[in-house]
Structure 1
Amino acid sequence: MEFYEDIKQILRDDESKQSATKIQSYNHPQGWQAVVREDREEQQVLIVVHRFGEEEEPISIPLPNYKRWTVQGDYSTKGKSYYITDQNTLEIQGLSKSDAAGIWLN
């Protein structure tokens, strides 16, 4: 509930503006998909990502380029790590098969 309280304005007021996927088949999904939601003031981003397969490689999600982002919080199981590259890309490691995470950036 605490994470929801932090990000509810993004969910309530804004639209998904970008999505990324590496899914080839939705009947037997492998890979990952992500939805990126930005707030209207361009100060916050919520990313929801799901992994479907056994891949061990990090997930890379390009972020909006209008500012330098920092991870403010996340909702996921333990063992995940998040890193924002110099190219303004979110790198996610530790997402296992059939796992998901919500990452809040500002």
Structure 2
Amino acid sequence: MAALYFNVLKTTLIDRLHGRISIDTVKPGPDPLFTLDQESLLANHIQTMGEVGFGYTRQETINLASDFAFTLGLRPRDKPLTDRWLYKVLDRWPALEVKKTEVSI
């Protein structure tokens, strides 16, 4: 009845009841690579660097996160993160922004 009432697949409810899907999961797909604390640390670093004038480009951000993942043992060195990963992080951390660099002469 709950599946009908909330318009959710019955199999989804059964998976949650049996622990195959975490109760904290709110979006479909794989879990994020980093924990919330790890991603928060990375996001705060990126934001702080931008505030002091050393903002990262898209590629530098991906390289930084790839190195971080390698250091934590979450990803091999030869499998860097992608633009897709970056845009998912930007969705989760709206305070981070992609901006064009300004050149002052």
Pair member with larger Rg: 2
- TM-score, normalising length from structure 1? 0.24
Task: Report the structure, 1 or 2, having the larger helix content.
Answer: 2
Q: Higher strand share goes to which structure?
A: 1
TM-score normalised to structure 2 length: 0.24
Q: Tell me which of the two structures has the higher relative contact order, counting C-alpha pairs closer than 8 angstroms and 6 or more residues apart.
A: 1
